[in-house]
């Protein structure tokens, strides 16, 4: 009879091994083997060990092309539950072919696990390779943001996407903040002391809108709107001598931050009083020293006597308060929209569609530690964002939901694709924009890490078409005006979308997540909670006013938290071509890491959030 050799690898984590009985069945195009116990005398499945077994299929001379390995685990005697973490199974056929079957999961008693081979295959290669269907978890669905307020009850539900039972149980046993305190180390926090020293300075204020935690809002201004009546006389003292506001707008040196989507959103109640969030505007000037300077601030959208335009020449505390209220609104937008919605929630949409539509043998599934890892790490993080909404932000639950509804209605495919986003905002040439510089290089590296190996005609890949259709229908509400693809017609289209998915869950998340401690840990610089209302007149404030406006120590909170980007800790591929592509991808990321490090060594404030070896491989916090 033909012999098949199985090498079964147990994970390296604590308690990964098991005393239980483990059984394997091999299934191929020519039949299946007997259910064979993978057992010798003694403990077979120790942590980090490889177990080799000879399996002889009965009644079948050859199994043909191997398709599946079925693993089962039964109890040994009456010992308590003893979960086993299987990393992979490698099968050597009688013909000498070596086939990888990735697992990388915990297996419980009585559970039957089907492992598919490590080669990326298009189409339903064999009907035995069935897909496990995941239901959509409505909280994670972005489409709920457009529903009436009554539909937002799902935000209160404590559901979770049950991808890794053990990890979810661990998360449920700890409160959200215990988890953060235990697991969030701060190796990337390099700026808090600098921020505390320079937070009042206007050039550092402007720097943060390009290279801080929310670099996605500022844009070039060629004409002022009527609701922001800044005059030449107001800003002339802050411009280069001999020029004018109109001339500087023509030169492309005037930029605007406009938080109009925040206008009219109610803030939450705090100790019986309503807090305040302003949908303001801030005008910036790129001076001859290439520093981005704020030169005018209006805290509400509609001009009036009680809504003055604040200037750098005003009373110091007036100007500080105006800047603080702009940054407070920016922090709401950053946390709710650019961080939570545009990275966490969107990545969950991509993930659930992947789990529903693609078998694990599909190349997109295999290329995606950037996609697939999010539910097991962050579903509880996403659920518990309501803790932040209610307990720490100026906007409460209802306000944040309204902000996300409004923001999502403006989301387009182009706005999420970095090259198009930068061009649309007119920021292609503004100097010292390190988020753009590093981000565009990463976008290019990721886009070259493509799927050309597998595709000649994307129309024939029905699983791929189902995947993008699910994303378009359930993630983007079938909104054709958004520009999101509902189907794929060319390899180029597939490559662009996969680039977006990988960039969103790695680089973009790093850009809006990793600097939180740096910039939020000094509350006067950016506070997510302000107590007093914004000033309505000039000359009435003092440092006491500022202290009364800021949160107290107990209210001050920051979140930050890292597998490095571009690594595949789980061996999912079995072919030379994608393995070579991964090596080339990692080499380019390594080169970019060195390039950024060299630049940062010359900067007073280094930009570190898009250094590849300091970015996570997927969204985890």
Q: Which residues neighbour 295 within 8 Å (Cβ) at sequence distance 6 or greater?
A: 235, 238, 239, 283, 284, 285, 311, 312
> What residues are paired with 274 via a beta bridge?
269
Is 362 a known ligand-binding residue? no
Cα angle, residue 59 at apex, residues 58 and 60 outer, rounded to 5°: 90
> In this structure, are residues 519 and 214 in contact, taking their beta carbons and an 8 Å threshold?
no
User: How many other C-beta atoms can be found within 10 angstroms of the C-beta atom of residue 187?
Assistant: 10
What is d(CA 582, CA 596) in angstroms, rounded to the nearest whole number?
Answer: 21
Query: What is the DSSP-derived secondary structure letter of residue 135?
Result: P
Is 461 a known ligand-binding residue? no
Is 17 a known ligand-binding residue? yes
Is 361 a known ligand-binding residue? no
> What residues are paired with 27 via a beta bridge?
32, 68
What's the Cα-to-Cα distance from 2 to each of 26, 68, 116, 323, rounded to whole Å? 13, 17, 21, 76
In terms of Cβ atoms closer than 10 Å to its own Cβ (0-12, 13-18, 19+), residue 580 is: exposed
What is d(CA 438, CA 442) in angstroms, rounded to the nearest whole number?
Answer: 6
Is 21 a known ligand-binding residue? no
> In this structure, are residues 57 and 24 in contact, taking their beta carbons and an 8 Å threshold?
no
3-class state of residue 50 by DSSP: strand
Give the closest residue to 115 by CA, choosing from 39, 197, 25: 25
Q: 3-state SS of 557-583? A: CCCCCCCECCCCCCCCCCCHHHHHHHH
> In this structure, are residues 299 and 325 in contact, taking their beta carbons and an 8 Å threshold?
yes
What's the Cα-to-Cα distance from 329 to each of 121, 250, 277, rounded to whole Å? 47, 29, 6
Is 40 a known ligand-binding residue? yes
User: How many other C-beta atoms can be found within 10 angstroms of the C-beta atom of residue 453?
Assistant: 13
What is d(CA 290, CA 431) in angstroms, rounded to the nearest whole number?
Answer: 7
Is 141 a known ligand-binding residue? no
Q: Which residues neighbour 312 within 8 Å (Cβ) at sequence distance 6 or greater?
A: 202, 238, 293, 294, 295, 319
> In this structure, are residues 236 and 244 in contact, taking their beta carbons and an 8 Å threshold?
yes
Is 82 a known ligand-binding residue? yes
Q: Which residues are annotated as a binding site?
A: 17, 39-40, 82, 339, 344, 509, 621
Q: Which residues are annotated as a binding site for Fe cation?
A: 339, 344, 509, 621
Q: Which residues are annotated as a binding site for Ca(2+)?
A: 17, 39-40, 82
């Amino acid at each position: 009879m033909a012999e098949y050799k199985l090498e079964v690898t147990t994970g390296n984590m604590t308690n990964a091994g098991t005393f239980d009985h483990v059984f394997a069945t091999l299934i191929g195009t020519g039949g299946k083997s007997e259910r064979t116990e993978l057992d010798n005398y003694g403990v077979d499945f120790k942590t980090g060990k490889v177990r080799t077994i000879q399996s002889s299929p009965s009644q079948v001379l050859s199994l043909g092309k191997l398709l599946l390995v079925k693993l089962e685990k039964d109890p040994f005697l009456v010992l308590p539950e003893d979960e086993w973490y299987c990393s992979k199974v490698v099968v050597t056929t009688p013909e000498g072919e070596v086939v990888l079957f990735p697992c990388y999961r915990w297996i419980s008693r009585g559970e039957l696990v089907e492992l598919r081979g490590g080669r990326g295959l298009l189409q339903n290669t064999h009907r035995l390779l069935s897909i496990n269907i995941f239901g959509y978890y409505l909280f994670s669905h972005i489409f709920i943001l457009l529903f009436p307020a009554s539909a937002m009850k799902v935000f209160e539900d404590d559901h979770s996407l049950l991808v890794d039972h053990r990890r979810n149980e661990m998360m449920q046993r700890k409160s959200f903040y215990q988890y953060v305190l235990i697991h969030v180390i701060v190796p990337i926090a390099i700026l808090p002391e600098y921020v505390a020293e320079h937070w009042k300075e206007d050039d550092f204020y402007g720097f943060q809108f390009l290279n801080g935690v929310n670099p996605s809002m500022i844009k070039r201004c060629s004409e002022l709107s009527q609701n922001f009546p800044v005059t030449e006389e107001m800003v002339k003292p802050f411009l280069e001598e001999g020029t004018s506001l109109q001339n500087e707008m023509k030169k492309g040196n005037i930029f605007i931050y406009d938080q109009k989507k925040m206008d009219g959103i109610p803030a939450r109640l705090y100790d019986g009083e309503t807090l305040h969030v302003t949908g303001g505007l801030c005008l910036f000037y790129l001076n001859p020293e290439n520093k981005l300077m704020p030169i005018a601030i209006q805290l509400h959208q509609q001009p009036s006597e009680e809504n003055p335009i604040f200037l750098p020449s005003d009373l110091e505390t007036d100007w500080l308060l105006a800047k603080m209220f702009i940054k407070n609104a920016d922090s709401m937008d950053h946390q709710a929209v650019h961080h939570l919605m545009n990275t966490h929630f969107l990545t969950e949409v991509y993930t659930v569609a992947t789990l529903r539509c693609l078998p694990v043998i599909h190349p997109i599934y295999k290329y995606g530690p950037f996609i697939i890892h999010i539910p097991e790490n962050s579903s509880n993080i996403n659920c518990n964002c309501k803790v932040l909404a209610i307990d720490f932000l100026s906007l409460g639950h209802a306000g944040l939901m309204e902000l996300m509804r409004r923001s999502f209605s403006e989301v387009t495919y182009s706005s999420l694709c970095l090259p198009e986003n930068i061009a649309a905002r007119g920021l292609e040439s503004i100097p010292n924009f390190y988020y753009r510089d590093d981000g565009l290089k990463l976008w290019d590296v990721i886009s070259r890490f493509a799927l050309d190996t597998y595709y000649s005609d994307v129309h024939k890949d029905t699983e791929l078409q189902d995947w993008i259709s699910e994303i378009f229908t359930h993630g983007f509400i079938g909104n054709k005006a958004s520009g999101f693809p509902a189907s794929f017609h060319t390899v180029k289209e597939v490559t662009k979308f996969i680039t977006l998915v990988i960039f969103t869950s790695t680089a973009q998340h790093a850009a809006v997540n990793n600097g939180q401690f740096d910039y939020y840990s000094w509350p006067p610089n950016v506070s997510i909670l302000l107590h007093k209302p914004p000033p309505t007149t000039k000359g009435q404030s003092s440092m006491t006013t500022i202290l009364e406006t800021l949160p107290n120590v107990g209210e001050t909170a920051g979140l930050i938290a890292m597998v490095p980007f571009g690594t595949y800790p789980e061996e999912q591929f079995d072919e030379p071509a994608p393995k070579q592509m991964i090596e080339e991808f990692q080499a380019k990321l390594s080169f970019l890491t060195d390039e950024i490090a060299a630049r940062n060594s010359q900067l007073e404030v280094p930009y570190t959030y898009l250094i590849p070896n300091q970015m996570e491989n997927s969204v985890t916090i």
